A and B are shown apart, each in its own frame.
Chain A
């Protein structure tokens, strides 16, 4: 017992010294005074003491191969049964899904304009996170510039509307297609790269797209962006702002459902299995006769397509876009949703995206700390639970014929 405590005291002293300049000194350059903030340092020291105890405890559990949170034996089993109850057989699954769908359908009719807007944003991120999950979670290609495809979709709609007067419905497929083309344009040259190099190249690609949008002022309006983008028309007529928001909500909901259906089907398809083989081992995958180039390109294309769609919807929803919405931090945020949810797990990613967008909106106190927490989540998840909240399950194939022969 003594060792962890003395370790924690050491850690807390170490961190108090470490964070002293940045946390403890506040300069006022105008009045030439220094504010010493010892209270913050002391507070941090106390926090680190307990965090260090927790950290050690987590490691000792991890080292012994135990789960981090152990519920009392009866409770754990009951909770597990409760959680799996709605998914146990096809009938209860259908019932629970219908209930969920009904709640989602009724939501915009009873909630305020503001809340509907937040929900739209959250659902857009669900779509983005699911799209990125194809590349990162299923195919194992760490893409750090995902937001570039989102930007391509958004700007495709904004520019086509501005210069050619094309409507939302014409631009939706165009935006998706353009994003796919960009995905292929990125994917083709990076076929030879893997792992960390690929990650950095995609990051560079994302930044190049953003910088181009920022500096090509004659086309994109630079940092001023593009204003007055119309919302989607409803069978040929433009709706009022309130109705429009509700309409977009249903649109995004439909898009998310479509995304989930497509990705679920994709995961167990021939292409999906090839993607998972790619994730496990590239060379072994190639040795199994899988065309590496084709599989990688399809991962990029499939993944970027959703970002393109989401981009078009985003432009229609916000009616104004500029390059500031498409920074690396956005990509990192989407990535942390995938990491938190569990790479390759659809349910997990949906839950994580909803938590990470809705929690800062409703817990205002946390909203300043949002990015700080996102960063911490990525580190902590990698260390303690790399498989994410919900482990991505693979379909298992049972051969019943063999059993029959044995009997």
Chain B
């Protein structure tokens, strides 16, 4: 699979810094790790929310993220040709991506997972894999197999010049937006009625049903929230990388899943911690060792965690029953 999912350093600042292993380089790597880590965290939240409620690895979640990036690209392209100002385009494109991705996530659940409630555990997983392949090829056939350029929409942020060697406008935007999204999610889950219902359903679906919670509605809501977060991640990374392709979802999805497992699947702070840890670990590996095995690192990490601590950093151990 041809992929250039995340660039470890911003263009133009690789060669000079790679030689010296100074503090500056270290800090730069740390922040670029933080940037990509927060994207992983945004996607990982979707995995963790869904797993928490219906114990399903939503294999097609990476595709939702890709659809978000694609929708943003298309909307931004149309608005750009019509001649709207750059800042406005970014906001509208991001909103469109979030709305459409949420709709895709909702539809995905209704079509591929809802009919399989109560089926043997592997059935929905196979259905999810099928959906992932389907969505990838849907975009491939409807659009193109090539990398499409994402327009440059970010304004220059002058205040960043003071810390210019550490991050650029897109890194800054990613950190701020993902931070805001995570805070908003935490508040939503903790303090709203729907959030409470989500937590109740995650704890015990049957009991929640008995208490008058519409579990189907809560599951749909979970998919919508998770997809919206993934779409936000998709828009941010597309504007950061400057290109979008139908296959970006597969790798990003797997890595985000790794992050979710690393933090303890089902746990919301776990997904954030896992995402950041994975992002920083990858960034240091690329910066100090070699970029070639960057993807292999994530998979190796995933295998190690699942074998030695399957409940992750913040997860709780569960007893398996017949």
List 30 contacting pairs A-B, 8 Å CB cutoff, sorted by A.
A21-B96, A22-B70, A27-B148, A32-B81, A33-B81, A140-B122, A193-B307, A193-B310, A196-B121, A205-B299, A207-B299, A208-B300, A215-B292, A215-B296, A283-B320, A329-B133, A369-B137, A372-B137, A375-B132, A375-B133, A376-B130, A376-B134, A378-B129, A378-B130, A379-B127, A379-B130, A379-B134, A382-B124, A383-B112, A386-B119
What B residues does A23 contact at CB under 8 A?
Answer: 142
**A201 adjacent to B306 (CB under 8 Å):** yes
List the interface of chain A (C-beta within 8 A of B). 14-15, 17-19, 21-23, 25-27, 29, 32-34, 40, 59, 140, 142, 144, 189-190, 192-197, 199-201, 203-205, 207-208, 211-212, 215, 281, 283-284, 327-329, 332, 335-336, 339, 368-369, 371-372, 374-379, 382-383, 386
What B residues does A369 contact at CB under 8 A?
Answer: 137, 141
**Complex CA–CA separation, A371 to B300 (angstroms):** 28
**A368 adjacent to B141 (CB under 8 Å):** yes
**Complex CA–CA separation, A211 to B123 (angstroms):** 29
Q: Which of B76-133 contact A (CB under 8 A)?
A: 77-78, 81, 96, 100, 103-104, 107, 111-112, 115-116, 119-127, 129-133
Q: A27-B73, A371-B133 are in contact. List 11 more A-B contacts (CB 8 A).
A: A18-B107, A19-B142, A22-B70, A195-B121, A200-B254, A201-B302, A204-B258, A205-B299, A378-B129, A379-B130, A382-B126
**Complex CA–CA separation, A18 to B103 (angstroms):** 7
Q: Is B284 an interface residue (CB 8 A)?
A: no
Q: Which of B1, B77, B111 contacts A34 (CB 8 A)?
A: B77
What A residues does B133 contact at CB under 8 A?
Answer: 329, 332, 371-372, 374-375, 378
**Complex CA–CA separation, A133 to B247 (angstroms):** 28
What A residues does B127 contact at CB under 8 A?
Answer: 378-379, 382-383
Q: Is B223 an interface residue (CB 8 A)?
A: no
Q: Per-residue CB proximity of B280-322 to A under 8 Å, as 1/0?
A: 0000000000001101100110110011001000000000111
What A residues does B320 contact at CB under 8 A?
Answer: 194, 283
**B306 adjacent to A197 (CB under 8 Å):** yes
**Complex CA–CA separation, A18 to B306 (angstroms):** 37
List the interface of chain B (C-beta within 8 A of A). 1, 56-57, 67, 70-71, 73-75, 77-78, 81, 96, 100, 103-104, 107, 111-112, 115-116, 119-127, 129-139, 141-143, 148-149, 250, 254, 257-258, 261, 292-293, 295-296, 299-300, 302-303, 306-307, 310, 320-322
| A interface SS class | helix
**A375 adjacent to B130 (CB under 8 Å):** yes
Instruction: Considering the complex, give the chain B residue whose CB is closest to the CB of A281.
Output: B322
**A59 adjacent to B115 (CB under 8 Å):** yes
Instruction: Considering the complex, give the chain A residue whose CB is closest to the CB of B104.
Output: A18
**B75 adjacent to A375 (CB under 8 Å):** no
Instruction: Considering the complex, give the chain B residue whose CB is closest to the CB of A198.
Output: B306
Min Cβ gap B119→A in Å is 7
Q: Which of A190, A283, A327 contacts B307 (CB 8 A)?
A: A190
**Complex CA–CA separation, A376 to B130 (angstroms):** 6
Q: Compute the total of residue contacts between A and B using a CB distance below 8 Å.
A: 172
**Complex CA–CA separation, A25 to B74 (angstroms):** 7
**A27 adjacent to B125 (CB under 8 Å):** no
Min Cβ gap B125→A in Å is 5
What B residues does A204 contact at CB under 8 A?
Answer: 254, 258, 299-300, 302-303
What A residues does B123 contact at CB under 8 A?
Answer: 382, 386
Min Cβ gap A224→B in Å is 14
What A residues does B57 contact at CB under 8 A?
Answer: 196, 199-200
**Complex CA–CA separation, A199 to B303 (angstroms):** 11
**A196 adjacent to B122 (CB under 8 Å):** yes
**Complex CA–CA separation, A29 to B122 (angstroms):** 43
**A211 adjacent to B296 (CB under 8 Å):** yes
- Complex A-B, nearest 6 residue pairs according to Cβ-Cβ distance, in ascending order: A378-B130, A375-B134, A375-B133, A204-B299, A372-B137, A379-B130
**A199 adjacent to B71 (CB under 8 Å):** no
Q: Which of B67, B126, B130, B257 contacts A22 (CB 8 A)?
A: B67
Given known contacts A34-B78, A374-B133, A375-B132, A189 and B1 CB-to-CB distance under 8 angstroms: no
Q: Which of A27, A327, A335 contacts B126 (CB 8 A)?
A: A335
**Complex CA–CA separation, A327 to B247 (angstroms):** 12
**A14 adjacent to B107 (CB under 8 Å):** yes
